[in-house]
Amino acid sequence: MDVMDDIARRGLLLLGCGKMGSAMLAGWLARGVDPGMVSVIDPAPSDWLRGTRVRLGAPEAPPAVAVIAVKPQMMDDALPALDAGDTLFVSVAAGVPVARFEAALGAGARVVRAMPNTPAAIGRGITAIVANAAAGADGLDAAEALLSAVGEVVRLEDEDQIDAVTAVSGSGPAYAFHLIEAMTDAGVAEGLPEPLSRRLATATVAGAGALAMEAGEDAAALRRNVTSPGGTTQAALEVLMDPARGFPHLVPEAVAAAARRSRELRG
């Protein structure tokens, strides 16, 4: 049965409605999910959430899907309140492995672990998913159908890849935001007013990302296209591409640090 048909029949539970939960809920409602079939458990419902006409509180019967979007430190309180049954559990909680859900819900619990990122708030996120054996391919199909409401979805071969995904795409938006900060400061240092420099930096990073998504060429080819021999871009890239102190050194070091911390957090 299609997941949306199953939700229309048995309902959908969202546990936690912060920024990511709200983004997902907005995407589902925009796709035509009946708010009357959605239950949301959140300790402090926002005015926006109250206005969606979803059910606030636990559902009366086990839902088709339960999406877990609470903070990892709240998981110990949240999981015991859930009844596994034949519900599909989709978790977007960072650092919480599938095994922890199986321990709390039972070895037969159907679990999909997902790692989204913050551009999901505007429907431009990318989410990586992986399922346990009990969820299988059907669980992955259902999770992809739900999570595609906030952007692209990719499937992992193994849960261990989640740490690398966290380091590249989960934490990645912060790297892009910091690049905007650094470019803004550099423009100011070269004599631009701060608001103008910030606007130029923000639009440039956003536009370059959109071009990379749509151009049909890889990033290296796009970089070469904009780099004239002996020109201004080449002068800048000689600094940024320095293997000892530029991006080839800094970015792998930063991603490795994030992946290492991800592994530490899951124990």
Annotated binding site: 15-20, 69-72
Cβ atoms < 10 Å from Cβ of 52: 18
Contact by Cβ (8 Å): 184, 157: no
What 3-state class would DSSP assign to 102? Answer: helix
Contact by Cβ (8 Å): 101, 91: yes
Angle at 170 between CA 236 and CA 63, to 5 degrees: 155
Distance, in Å, from the CA atom of 225 to the CA atom of 213, rounded to the nearest integer, reads 15
**Binding site feature residues for NADP(+):** 15-20, 69-72
Instruction: Kindly list the strands in the beta sheet with 55-56, ordered across the sheet, starting from the edge strand earlier in the chain.
Output: 55-56, 38-41, 12-15, 65-68, 88-91, 110-115, 125-131, 151-155
